[in-house]
Amino acid sequence: MPRRKRYLATDVIVVIIVLMLALPPWANFFSVKVDLAHMHSASSWQHPLGTDNLGRDLLVRLSQALAQAVLPLWCSVIMASTAGLIMAQVALATASSRYSRYLFNAFGMLAVAAASVPMTVTTFAWAAWFEEAGLFSVILALSVIFTARAFLHIKDLARQSTNLAFWSAHEALGGRTGDRVWRYGISSAWTPELLLALGLNLRVAVAIEASLSYLGFGIQEPTASFGNILAAHFDEYLKGQWTVMAMTLAALALTAAAPLAFMRLFLDSGLLQLITRLLAKVNGLHFNALKQRLRVHTSQQ
Partner 1 sequence: MLKPCETTILILAWCLLLALCWTAAVFGYLCRSQQAPSESIDGLGRGVIIPALVVAPVTLLIAFRYAGINLLFPIEIFATATELCTAALAPAAVLFIVSGLAGALMRQLRLEHDYWQRQPFALAAVAYGHDKNKAVRRIVLLKGFVTAWAQCLPWLYGELIIVEAVFNAPGLGLSAWHMARARDHMGLLATIGLLILLYALSVAVTAWGNSWLGRRLESYA
Residues that bind partner 1 (CB under 8 A): 3, 7, 116-121, 124-125, 128-129, 131, 196, 199-200, 203, 206-207, 210-211, 214-217, 226-227, 230, 234, 237-238, 240, 242, 245, 249, 252-253, 256-257, 260, 264
Nearer residue to partner 1 within complex by CB, 29 or 242: 242
| Nearest distance, CB of residue 214 and partner 1, angstroms | 6
CB-CB neighbours of 115 under 10 Å:
20
Nearer residue to partner 1 within complex by CB, 128 or 173: 128
Measure the CA–CA gap between 290 and 173, rounded to whole angstroms: 6
State whether the Cα torsion 254-256-262-264 is positive or negative. negative
Nearer residue to partner 1 within complex by CB, 189 or 253: 253
SS3 51: strand
Nearer residue to partner 1 within complex by CB, 3 or 33: 3
| Nearest distance, CB of residue 199 and partner 1, angstroms | 7
Query: What is the secondary structure of 176-222 as a DSSP string?
Result: -HHHHIIIIIIIIITHHHHHHHHHHHHHHHHHHHHHHHHHTSS--TT
| Nearest distance, CB of residue 122 and partner 1, angstroms | 9
| Nearest distance, CB of residue 28 and partner 1, angstroms | 29
Task: Please give the C-alpha separations between residue 176 and each of 107, 232, 285, 294, in angstroms, as whole numbers.
Answer: 22, 56, 15, 14
Task: Please give the C-alpha separations between residue 234 and each of 32, 43, 228, 250, in angstroms, as whole numbers.
Answer: 21, 20, 10, 16
* Neighbouring residues of 25: CB distance < 8 A, sequence distance ≥ 6: none
| Nearest distance, CB of residue 52 and partner 1, angstroms | 16
| Nearest distance, CB of residue 120 and partner 1, angstroms | 4
SS3 70: helix
CB-CB neighbours of 99 under 10 Å:
8
Measure the CA–CA gap between 272 and 117, rounded to whole angstroms: 33
Task: Please give the C-alpha separations between residue 181 and each of 20, 96, 108, 136, in angstroms, as whole numbers.
Answer: 38, 15, 17, 33
| Nearest distance, CB of residue 215 and partner 1, angstroms | 6
